[in-house]
Amino acid sequence: MELPISFVERMKTQLGSAYAQFETALQQPAPVSIRLNLRKLGQQPQLPSVPWTDTGYYLPERPLFTLDPLLHAGAYYVQEASSMFLEQAIRQTVNLDQPLRVLDLCGAPGGKSTHIASLLSEDSMLVANEVIRSRATILAENVTKWGSGNVLVTNNDPRDFGKLPDFFDVMVVDAPCSGEGMFRKDLQARQEWSEENVKLCAQRQQRILMDVWEALKPGGILIYSTCTWNEAENESNMAWLAEQENATSLSLRLDPAWGVEASELNGMKGYRFYPHQVQGEGFFLAVIRKEGIAEALVHGSGKKKKHKLTPAGKKEQALVADWLIEPDRFEWLQHGEVISAIPATIFEYADQVYQKLYVVYAGIEVAEAKGKKLKPLHALALSPYLNKAVFRTEELDLESALRYLRKEDISLEGSGNDWVLLQYKGLPLGWAKQIGNRMNNYYPKEWRIRMELPQTLEEELFSLGQYL
């Protein structure tokens, strides 16, 4: 692997005698890891675990994930192991038993957002943001597949969050960076790297941090991370932020067996992941607390709030209420023809987000209402809150599941005129509509698998199911 000369010189200074091991590690294949969705898979696979998370596992090699229906069902997420250390940062510094408002500022494609959603209580709210619209769409897709009903996906610039001062209890800023930690598996990251780009990234990261700082509550937690090793984008930025604002660095407990290296600059602590010390890619994380005490919420002012979110009509609510388990936990909303549900405990806060930001997706999109006809939406099929008992369900084999995911015609026994929930290994994949002897495929066309299927499916394809 050809590395930039100035990068090599810096890393030799940074690592000293360990540089040779570091360089050797970069020549090895990158580890492959996944994180389970325990709301969909209660069974742990027979695989080596990622030590700093309860739900991460290593695979022996990188398979063809695209052709595993369980991935499309939201049963797991393919995520780099080092970045799963976010779980330790949250568990060790945040009280997860209380309702929280959390922002994942740079959320796409969705690894950290779905991870955070798995850690939060049902009464908490996660705002998963992405500034680039096309990537925000991908983020919304992965959040939908994961199935958490208390997530809002937004498409905003960091400066827009200044419209929500002192709003978030926790912020996660996985900042755009020079990508040094991805050199092993990303040729483009090596080709685009330069010392000048490192400086530009550091400046951009500072702007991002200052843009969102106002939206963090006094006493709130900010978790900052990059996939790079240089000090300028990491410890120096944390020290700079502490100089600009009143912030305190927080320490995390480490198990020596993990191989994570603690660092410190001007009192600001950080945690570094090197490929010769951990089974993962390059990563940096730091946690700081905004000084101060948040003001207590005042209820009962007597003023009636004007909401942007529009309640669904009682008739529409009655038609779809039994489609969800525990429907009374939700506020039912309608936007155009779409009826959706959002946990009642976060409704007021979600409404504030809608008033100040551009929301791409929120809660659970349950149904589309056209006159007297109701069409169940894909997000409902993938939600753990789906009440399967009110729908006809059909189990698909591997070939039928993949043909459904390719949005091809599939055939099932029976006839009638009703919606059918299609499943693979007991997990919903989506909807089809039985019309007489014909079955119409309602898998979202923008999500369909475009890859051709191999001739011998069972022999050639990976499925997480083989490890369960």
Task: Name all domains of the chain by residue range, CATH numbers in brackets.
Answer: 81-290 (3.40.50.150), 301-390 (3.10.450.720), 391-452 (3.10.450.720)
DSSP 452: P
Q: Are 128 and 143 in contact (CB under 8 A)?
A: yes
- In the annotation, is 227 catalytic? yes
Neighbours of 43 (CB within 10 A): 10
Task: Work out the end-to-end distance of the chain between its first and last CA atoms, rounded to an integer number of angstroms.
Answer: 37
Query: Which residue ranges are tagged as binding site for S-adenosyl-L-methionine?
Result: 130, 157, 174
CB within 8 A of 124, min separation 6: which ones? 99, 100, 101, 102, 150, 346
Residue 219 backbone dihedrals phi, psi, to 5 degrees: 85, -5
Q: At what angle do helices 111-119 and 86-93 cross, to 10 degrees?
A: 30
Tokens encoding 390: 């009110």
Amino acid at 150: N
Q: How far apart are CA 252 and CA 259, in angstroms?
A: 14
CB atoms < 10 A from the CB of 464, how many?
22
Number of H helices, E strands in the chain: 14, 21
What's the pLDDT score for residue 458? 63
Residue 438: which of 460, 412, 400 has the closest Cα? 412
On whether the pTM is more than 0.85, the answer is yes
How far apart CA 426 and CA 416 sit, in angstroms, is: 23
* Residues 65-103 as b or e (16 or more Cβ within 10 Å = b): bebbbbbbbbbbbbbbbbbbbbbbbbeebbeeeebbbbb
pLDDT digits (tens, 9 = 90+) for 44-91: 899 999 999 999 999 999 999 999 999 999 999 999 999 999 999 999
Tens-digit pLDDT string for the chain (468 aa): 789 999 999 999 999 999 999 999 999 999 999 999 999 998 889 999 999 999 999 999 999 999 999 999 999 999 999 999 999 999 999 999 999 999 999 999 999 999 999 999 999 999 999 999 999 999 999 999 999 999 999 999 999 999 999 999 999 999 999 999 999 988 888 999 999 999 999 999 999 999 999 999 999 999 999 999 999 999 999 999 999 998 999 999 999 999 999 999 999 999 999 999 999 999 999 999 999 887 765 544 455 678 999 999 898 899 999 999 999 999 999 999 999 999 999 999 999 999 999 999 999 999 999 877 899 999 999 999 999 999 999 999 999 999 999 999 988 887 778 999 999 999 999 999 998 888 999 999 999 999 988 877 665 678 888 888
Catalytic residue among 106, 177, 201, 227: 227
